[in-house]
Structure 1
Amino acid sequence: MSGPLTTAARVLETLHAASDPNEAEKIRNRVADDDVVIGVRMGTLFDAARWAVDLPEKELETLLEHPAYEARMSAFCILDFRARRKLADRERAALARIYLERHDVITAWDMVDRAAPRVLGWPILIGAIDGGVLDDLAAATDPLRRRSAITAPLWFIKKGSPEDVVRGLAIADSLAGDEHPRVRSAVQIFRKHADQRLRNDGEDG
């Protein structure tokens, strides 16, 4: 990559140039059956997203609408990289709205894990958007939305108060016994980190 990627076409060219049949076989094992797979190593995909962080919104939408897993994954990585910047609350809310409005194109658990904590959890933590959205996601029929409900509050553990961590644990409780393995594993991950955070807070106190 020789410079910033300013169009979806350039991002896709970069991804296709890095296509590897062996990588495609690995990716196929973790994505939806009807996803198109290009076959790009995650490190390469992250680098492409980093170069495309200032992609215009119309071009970002093109990636979100693309049938290939890597195109959509790169879009959610772009959102995550944007969320790492110093932003105004309204800008964080705008990123969260994109995540929520285009949750329909999330077809793999790693899209959730990459973007949900910063893109969704951060604006909820600071009150830029209503935290009730987590309850809505937790009640959804789509297991990836339920995974978002418990993955976004990982940001509460990282940057929130003990009370914020408890808010996340309430979501975990609501998903206890979920029938989907991707939701159950996310609940276990959250509880593990939440318990560690609360233990550390108790020791510091």
Structure 2
Amino acid sequence: MVQSVKAKEIIQSLTYLADPVKAKFLQGYFKTGKGEYGEGDKFLGVKVPEQRKIAGQFWKDVTLDDLKELILNHYHEIRLTAIFILVQKFQKSKSNEEKQAIVDFYFDNKQYINNWDLVDSSAHKILGPWLYNKDRSLLYELAHSGQLWDQRIAVISTFYFIDHDDFSDSLKIAEKLLQHPHDIIQKAVGWMIREIGNRDYYTALQFLRQHYKNMPRTMLRYAIEKFEPETRHGFLKGTI
């Protein structure tokens, strides 16, 4: 496949900023070893602000075909920059047809949105707003898929709903994933419960009172992080 001019320019811009020392650190930080959640992922060692700057420079002129080349790239930062561009294109789109095409692209290529930062930079900025006034069954399909990153997409997408004081789907998905074995999902679920608590303390408290004894410790700690010390200690000791 012949590389598009824009995709080539973006890849060259990122490659120019590569830092081998930082790349080595990131490969450990994002768990790229055998059997780890980011197994086999490769890094250039480019800082996120630099990626965002490049995305800001190119997003207007980049097509979905260009982004397809970027999202398929084996370097993490190139895929993340593609995500930053995709989010900007979605947010700036003026028609539902344009937004639909971006959502379809996102869903068709979700196997390449395969680390927590890629998910967390996009799910609540693309799928969340798109599904807000639509049927949300897609999120439940993702939550039940058994695929780690699909499940994280389902959880993080609901952050958009939470930000609009709509907690129902977040709590239903949290309940379905309550005993998930992987801390990537435990942390995401706990984070969403915490965000609900930031907006509606008693809704989060009621949910936790009902479910906390069945939660993994990691999920619980994330969920209660902003509670008063006495309440936190009560949950952790199992006395609430």
TM category, shorter: 0.7 to 0.9
Larger Rg: 2
Calculate the aligned-residue CA RMSD, in Å: 2.0
Q: CA deviation at 1:69?
A: 1.0
Name the % identity. 23
Q: CA deviation at 1:86?
A: 5.3
CA contact (8 A) 1:169 1:194 kept: no
Task: Please give the secondary structure, in 1, of the residue aligned with 2:121.
Answer: helix
> Residue type matched to 1:191 in 2?
I
More deviation, 19-28/132-141: 19-28
> Residue type matched to 1:27 in 2?
L
If asked which structure has higher relative contact order (CA below 8 Å, sep 6+), I would say 1
1:145-169 per-residue CA deviation (whole Å, 9 max, x = no partner) reads 10001000100112x3x4x322221
Task: Please give the secondary structure, in 1, of the residue aligned with 2:122.
Answer: helix
- Describe how 1:7-18 pairs up with structure 2 within 5 A: 7-18=6-17
Task: Please give the secondary structure, in 2, of the residue aligned with 1:137.
Answer: helix
**What's the TM-score once normalised by structure 1's chain length?**
0.87
Give, in whole Å, the separation in 2 of the partners of 1:154 and 1:9: 34
Task: Please give the secondary structure, in 2, of the residue aligned with 1:7.
Answer: helix
More deviation, 116-125/29-38: 29-38
- Describe how 1:44-193 pairs up with structure 2 within 5 A: 44-54=50-60, 55-85=62-92, 87-127=94-134, 130-158=135-163, 160=164, 162=165, 164-193=166-195
Cα pair distance change 1:88/1:199, threshold 3 Å: farther
Quick one: which of 43, 47, 52 aligns to 2:49? 43
CA contact (8 A) 2:93 2:99 kept: no
Note the residue ranges of structure 2 that are not aligned, 5 or more in a row. Answer: 33-37, 204-240
1:40-64 per-residue CA deviation (whole Å, 9 max, x = no partner) reads 0111011111212121121111001
Give, in whole Å, the separation in 1 of the partners of 2:46 and 2:172: 37
**What's the TM-score once normalised by structure 2's chain length?**
0.75
Q: CA deviation at 1:87?
A: 3.1
Q: CA deviation at 1:108?
A: 1.0
Q: CA deviation at 1:200?
A: 9.2
Note the residue ranges of structure 1 that are not aligned, 5 or more in a row. Answer: 1-5
Aligned residues: 192
